[in-house]
A and B are shown apart, each in its own frame.
Chain A
Amino acid sequence: GQQLNQSPQSMFIQEGEDVSMNCTSSSIFNTWLWYKQDPGEGPVLLIALYKAGELTSNGRLTAQFGITRKDSFLNISASIPSDVGIYFCAGQGGSEKLVFGKGTKLTVNP
């Protein structure tokens, strides 16, 4: 089945630093989604990408749909303490089902 590799697994950064994380797939996706999950809560959608090469921003967050349609990255600029949490990528190919990465756990030191 389809698999997503999300990296890094965890990040420890200082407040104010920029963050970058990415996901790669063994197969082509038509949609890439990025979610953030706070402890004990459900994931919240951050950015949705629907076209290869698409670059979309949401405040300090920027995500891109890779040209090959097999990868996507998420950047967070000027991190703040409330950015802590687990970030998940998810991809959708021809079937209805989303495939999720295993998450990147972000810790921001004030």
Chain B
Amino acid sequence: DGGITQSPKYLFRKEGQNVTLSCEQNLNHDAMYWYRQDPGQGLRLIYYSQIVNDFQKGDIAEGYSVSREKKESFPLTVTSAQKNPTAFYLCASSGGRHSPLHFGNGTRLTVT
């Protein structure tokens, strides 16, 4: 089945540690995205990539980093510089400029 896989589903980390969230897609989509979701909030864009080896900052990129070495993979690192990292993180991909986004099932990160 084609889709987007995020792992792990739940992640717990101590404050001050970097953590990497995985996102893999087998939809052959060029564009991939990372969003952050907080309770009662809409989705806020962290980073996006329209093609391999290229990515752009979204609206809330501070404290995060990404890489796009392969078309299928777009990992997100939450660094210790992110002031409030506890949140639900969603990865998405799309097949073209005006194609809808398809989402993974999210990773809930808790930092204590």
Contacts and interface: CB of A to CB of B under 8 A. Distances in A.
Q: Do A and B bind each other?
A: yes
Interface of A: 1, 4, 6, 30-31, 33, 35, 40-45, 48, 50, 88, 90, 92, 96-98, 100-103
A47 to B, nearest CB: 10
A41 B98 contact: no
A97 B106 CA distance: 19
A30 B102 contact: no
A30 B99 CA distance: 12
22 contacts: A31-B98, A33-B100, A33-B101, A35-B103, A42-B4, A42-B6, A42-B90, A42-B103, A42-B104, A42-B105, A43-B90, A43-B103, A44-B103, A45-B101, A45-B102, A48-B100, A88-B43, A92-B98, A96-B97, A100-B43, A102-B41, A103-B42
Nearest to A33: B100
B106 A40 contact: yes
B2 interface: no
Contacts of A40: 105-106, 108
Contacts of A45: 100-102
A102 B48 CA distance: 20
Contacts of B41: 102
A42 B106 contact: yes
Interface residues of B, number: 24
Interface string B63-98: 000000000000000000000000000101000011
A41 B37 CA distance: 11
